Amino acid sequence: MICGDNYFGSHIESGVVDEILELIRPLSPDAFVAGPAFNAGRYGVACGTMAKAVQDALSIPVVSGMYRENPGVDMFRKDIYIIETKDSSADMRNAAPKMAKLLKKLVNGEEVLGPKEEGYLEKGIRVNYFNERRGSERAVELLVRKIKGEETYTDYPMPVIDHVAPAPPLKDLSKAKIALITSGGVVPQGNPDHIESSSATKWGKYSIAGMDHADKKDFMTIHGGYDRAFITEDPDLCIPVDALRKLEKEGVIGKLTDYFITTTGTGTATNSSKRFAEEYIPLLKEDGVDAVLMVST
């Protein structure tokens, strides 16, 4: 089954998943392979979405393949088996056999070993097993290997969480230029850049120049994770242009930028969020922004 990742991402809410399922269902497949997507973010989201949908609807084994930093990994690693690949299709020669080997095991009902043995990305599942050697012996061996600088691994890997040091406080808020950024999915009417309502792969920058508030005739929300009725009626509840303009006129803040930056937060992978920031931070620096107000819902 072939579907462009742009088309897929733009039509999730309008039924593309069900449409593809109805093409697959008559084939009565024994298994389903999605990808590999390598480090193509929208492709990874599409692969993960369809693999999970097929698994849920048809109750058959599914396998995909992605680079560890693909946003599809964070979204679907707990739901499906994802073989770890390198970041480009140059790794196809290595990725495809690993996917085939794992899929064959799943189809035949064979025991699937751990991520290290099978090559898939960790699913966060702990499995009890009996080892021939005592834990104390293995722990000492691991310590010695670490002291020698040799390769080591652990039976109990922990998640790696970034630690971000707080920025120093503003010296004078009355002279500061403030930017408004939201994960609440507020966009201009019509959603011109087709930002997804969930699992966002893109962000947008839109003008509020000359506006004293965010009017419903100009803005809407496409966010899929909350009741949009209130923000549809009053977008200022999500992007508080009215309050910030008031503070600007009163001299509490120096200036509000003539634009805001937006995306949707629901289902959006951490790696995607990090990429968004890396893309718009240079724009904020170039514009002389001193601080950012991050607004959710």
Q: How far is CA 117 from CA 121, 143, 147, 208, in A?
A: 11, 22, 25, 54
pLDDT score, position 184: 93
pLDDT score, position 215: 94
| Class of residue 72 by CB neighbours under 10 A (exposed 0-12, middle 13-18, buried 19+) | buried
pLDDT score, position 63: 97
Question: In this structure, what is the dihedral angle of CA atoms 100, 101, 106, 108, given to the nearest 10 degrees?
Answer: 110
Q: Which CATH architecture describes the domain 5-118?
A: 3-Layer(aba) Sandwich (3.40)
pLDDT score, position 149: 92
pLDDT score, position 267: 72
Within 10 Å of residue 149's Cβ, how many Cβ atoms?
7
pLDDT (tens digit, 0 to 9) for every residue of the chain, 297 residues total? 898 887 887 788 788 999 999 999 999 999 999 989 998 888 898 999 999 999 999 999 999 999 988 888 988 998 999 999 998 889 999 999 999 999 999 999 998 988 888 999 988 777 777 888 888 998 999 999 999 999 887 777 776 777 888 889 999 999 999 999 999 999 999 999 999 888 788 999 999 999 999 999 999 999 987 888 999 999 999 999 999 999 999 999 999 999 999 999 887 877 788 889 999 999 999 999 999 999 987
Q: Which stretches does DSSP call E strand in the chain?
A: 32-38, 62-67, 81-85, 177-182, 186-188, 204-207, 219-221, 255-262, 291-295
Q: Copy the structure tokens of residue 217.
A: 């005739």
pLDDT score, position 47: 94
pLDDT score, position 257: 96
β-pair partners for 65: 83
Domain with CATH 3.40.50 in the chain: 5-118
By the 8 A CB rule, do 258 and 226 touch? Answer: no
By the 8 A CB rule, do 106 and 79 touch? Answer: no
Nearest to 240, CA basis, from 223, 269, 219: 219
Q: How far is CA 181 from CA 184, 219, 291, in A?
A: 9, 15, 11
- For residues 119 and 117, what is the distance between their CA atoms, to the nearest angstrom? 6
By the 8 A CB rule, do 199 and 75 touch? Answer: yes
Q: How far is CA 235 from CA 116, 184, 219, 220, 248, in A?
A: 48, 10, 7, 7, 19
